[in-house]
Structure 1
Amino acid sequence: MYAANWSKLETTNSVKFFGVAFQATLFSIVDIYSILRRKPLAVEMTHPVIKWLGVTLVLLHAGIGVQATSNECWTRWFDRDNPSGTGDYETLPELHKENPDKICQYPIQIEVKTKSGASVGSTGDVIHVSDVHTGFVCRNQDQPNNGQCSDYKVRFLCPLQFCKAKECWTRWFDRDNPSGTGDYETLPRLHKENPSKICDHPITIEVKTKSGAFVGSTGDAIRVADAHNGFICKNVDQPNGDCADYKVRFLCPLDFCEPKGCWTPWFDRDNPSGTGDYETLTHLRKANPSKICDQPMKIDVKTKSGASAGSTGDVIHASDTRIGFICRNRDQPHNGRCADYQVRFLCPLEFCDAEVCTTPWYDRDNPSGTGDYETLKKLYVENPNEICKPPLGIEVQTVAGNSVASTGGCHCLHGHDYWFHL
């Protein structure tokens, strides 16, 4: 990795060597030192004193920006603390705790800037820690002349796999069979017959026979097979008979497949006047029966006044969907006390659903034959687990959105194209 980045790190800086100032190419000195020490390059350096082969080198105001290679990616910037207390603590354990799944477990590099975007080197601050294990710490007590640290933000370099958009497969669909003119598993029809079951713009399509064999094994001539149109096999294209019976599925972005959720109300059962603020799930469930699901997906924490947990500078003991939230007064520096916090939880959508709901619109038929048959029996078969048994009511419109009454109000074995929901 180092070799791949050296060309991007070249910059000329003044180097004091035996008291004499020289112009030197910075990457050659710093990288040799990194290799000898077997440590990653520092992303930002402020007046660092480096002992190299027994000689002290002083690098003046060197600010290095590490570029991500094709196998790496940067997180967003994080600013969880400010220096108004004992300093600016952008530590990795706290950032992991406050930003679950936003920073990889083992970052490759750290980059640090002031909140305004200036390099660390331009501030003149004495930095206590800046690495991928601890994160970043600037302590006010280390600054000369009773000074105060600047307000810093950090980001981390992670393996590309961590940042890649994740993907997921839909279930298999088999809406047609080849007994007519062929097998038409087209995306527009599948979207219409399976609302919310396939993403709007699939990434790719996979096709197999109903028995699970690959398309290539059938010898069929395939007319269409792509993520934009879906799949079509026409009987007229086959040299020796009808198409096989096929099924399809689609690859979608992960957020399409992730379970949809809903947030509980905010809870604030405790305050920090005692030993701290304990918003634990055990206590919250006792105090609020049936208000929190058994397996929350996420936790959200704010102070009672609405500020983020990161803005308080508090040391947080726990913040997860297993325990809940705990801030202990004894963990705070200088005999400080936790802020007063409130929490809420993300639960599966069905936990928060109202007792009565409406299904999506269905349009399984059109009147080109003997009429429009949107029968419940057929809809149950084609849309498993999507319609309750029995429905409480039905609403019907034409596909254009007009009421039944506006069409003449008939049962219509021949006539308008309808859709309905329950």
Structure 2
Amino acid sequence: MRRLYLVGFPLLECRTPWFDRDDPSGLGDNEKLSLLLIRYPLQVCTQPIAIEVTTVSGSPWSFFWGLNFFFSVLYSLACVTRWFDSDNPETNGGDSELLTFLLNKYPGEICPNPLGIEAQTISNHVLCVFCRYNPTTGFSCLNANQGGGVCADYKVRFTCPEDWCSSECMTPWFDRDDPSGLGDNEKLSLLLIRYPLQVCTQPIAIEVTTVSGSPVLPPGNNFVVYNPVFGFACVNAGQTGGGLCADYKVRFSCPAKFCASE
């Protein structure tokens, strides 16, 4: 038996009774929250912060399936990302869909502080052996743990705070650096010092363009940092052909409460 909690929530002692509304004689055993709310009105809250699952005989259950079931509860929330598949099991000894990598590869498409994660194979199956995944780090499957086989090719998606999807709270454009030195550094930590109270400490998205307003980032420019958690940085030494970074400006999407407090 395992009890699973949303990251950041305290361990509360407010628990419902056990519910068993279905059995596996048909398509399977379906104990979805939406159906339990109908069958057992007023006996379960509409937004649970934890779930505990066991067989009716009290036998232990699969950890992976438990995780998948748990996070399916979160997907009643409206703010869900698209699916991401950045790796395959033929590289690096397995399939890793780590949050830090995905934030850099798909800037602005994933919140930096997801509430939940869902993982499936690209053929939409969920079975996995000794996989690890959670919303703060992402997903990882190692070929060495697959009993002589290899991991399937997985994709992931995230549940984000609702205001990440709906925020219309945008900062001004910031341009605190230019590429004449080592490069163009528009990191969030430096912007917070230069422009106090003009940018939130935990942005939910970042937008980058050149100071000339070009909507397309110049070809050949490679970025060492590009995500709402850390901001943006382009280093001259890393540019193809020995060129320099362009001069960039950035702006951020912030939680609605940041604009409301202004």
TM interval, short-chain normalised: 0.3 to 0.5
TM-score (norm 2): 0.48
Q: Based on CA coordinates, which of the two structures has the bigger radius of gyration?
A: 1
TM-score (norm 1): 0.32
